[in-house]
A = this chain, B = another copy of it.
């Protein structure tokens, strides 16, 4: 937590000292302009709010939530209604209302001025008010005289108009309550689009009154009723978030065929188990379009957003190749290949969407010159693909680099910029077509209890990339602020910090989890698609996800802090005694951990697979202690010893039980350093 302490020390300093341009407050996403001032505004039980100017339900409910959250974060019972105080602690002023259906590019700016005698929040409309209130909440901290916010002037607006989070509710159903707390998390970091991947081979997740077999036969009984969707949309709207529905077609649409096999390109019957039906929609039958017109018509009413996502990715052409009727359709219409057939399908689809007043969104594969320039391309392929679309006049969203299921560290997502690479070379008008991006939470390996820790806190780093100025790039600052925002997100009911304790308890059967936590804290799931590649035989989406790989965080904070400590120790010429003491304590804990853990490993089927990891960690502890001893004695370690230890290091680098031990590299550095000639002190 060293980095965070520095950040806080700086913010404390600024509150009592004169304005410091280099001030870093624990804000995420970082606002466009932050001008620190002198002093602070106390937050006590007399805290009051007044609303002048325009006021609508968004502002009123937003203020109510703000007061409730401020109460919760401070433990003070604050008044839950905005008083018409003459001297309010916080004066809120909105110029005018927001649009009835939130639109892309609607003004989201705000100005927040905090002085010793009060704060003012001004915004053109209620969306800016919501964002400004979130900024205010992030500034609240305990000081020596009570809770306070530092005096500051903030002018803020988003860099991109589309800042989304995709949640795949098709592979694994995610209950409404879980979606709602994630909407709260999104609002806290100023995201504005929840993209729901509502259907896939494993499930069709929305009640259709027109075609009830879609959700009844096309799911395992887990779907949202239409009332629930309306509730969700309204919940999101209250928080300044649009809900974008995606019904993937013609691929990834197997769940449709269980109840309506005629839609498929290959003969049925179809069933959901175990991988989902392996077929794609038949684009050659007129009945297909009649069906789609009705489904889209029904769903278009349910989801008021102007955009509608039709997926369009990863179409398995084999089913079209094998179907003679489809092949003759291709030839009869003078098409060259399956891609032309999909373009034909998409054109028909686009007309249906236009009829229902929707703008089509789809993945890279839908890009085709015959489609109108109004459509939006969501790119999982990268900035190159996005830039190519922009040059052809299409709007686009970046999702490449923001796939949360790939288990990347926050820093790696953070480094991905929609305007970098090929996109950097675009003309201003082409650049304006890049609307923003979306973090994507695909749920092949995610059940409801696993969702929050996969999404948070990493998504906050992506939210900053999409909101803050392009120059906001300092990774150390990002991590410091990410830790601060992470515990605040906990107040919203998100379980990213505490949920795994229960999952560890499940594995031990209620036994003490402390030794298991020591191991869990320093491992990460394997990266990219390594896990699915490790599956032998067909993937079963209903398989229990209750192993250590499911319980651990995608990014090990402990390993990151450990690496920084080792680096500091080495950079100090092995003189940093405080760092060495801490490193030694960790090594000792690891060394002794395997014995402690072994008892539970040998009584639970969920844990036996992690025994080799535990042994590796203990061995690394022993090797690390030896290396420190050599460094302490300023005596180079014997080469034979190093060779042996580096063999251990290589073994420890290999993934086991789909987990990676994240502390290997710093230990390796110490082992190598111990052979050097550099004298101690």
Contact = CB atoms under 8 A, between A and B. Distances in A.
A221 B491 CA distance: 23
A512 B542 CA distance: 38
Contact of A545 (B26, B75, B487, B501): B75
A265 B608 CA distance: 71
Interface stretch (A114-122, A139-147, A280-288, A569-577): A139-147
B145 A605 contact: yes
Contact of A542 (B5, B45, B507, B545): B45
B546 A509 contact: no
Contacts of A145: 605
- Give the number of times this chain occurs in the complex, counting copies: 2
Interface residues of A, number: 57
A77 B608 CA distance: 22
A599 interface: yes
A75 B503 CA distance: 8
A605 B141 CA distance: 10
Contacts of A102: none
A507 B370 CA distance: 60
Contact of A502 (B45, B76, B141, B490): B490
A509 B488 CA distance: 10
A538 interface: no
Interface string A66-79: 00000011111100
A603 interface: yes
A124 B514 CA distance: 43
A8 interface: yes
A544 to B, nearest CB: 4
B1 A511 contact: yes
Contacts of A497: 501
B74 A143 contact: no
Contact of A510 (B80, B447, B487, B508): B487
B75 A546 contact: yes
Interface in A581-632: 599, 602-608
A361 interface: no
Contacts of A546: 74-76
Nearest to A588: B585
A449 interface: yes
Interface string A502-533: 11011111111010000000000000000000
A509 B606 contact: no
Contacts of A12: 603
Contact of A80 (B77, B141, B221, B508): B221
Given A1-B511, A1-B512, A498-B501, A74 B146 contact: no
Interface of A: 1, 4-5, 8, 12, 26, 45, 72-77, 80, 141-146, 220-221, 447, 449, 483-484, 487-488, 490-491, 497-498, 501-503, 505-512, 514, 542, 544-546, 550, 599, 602-608
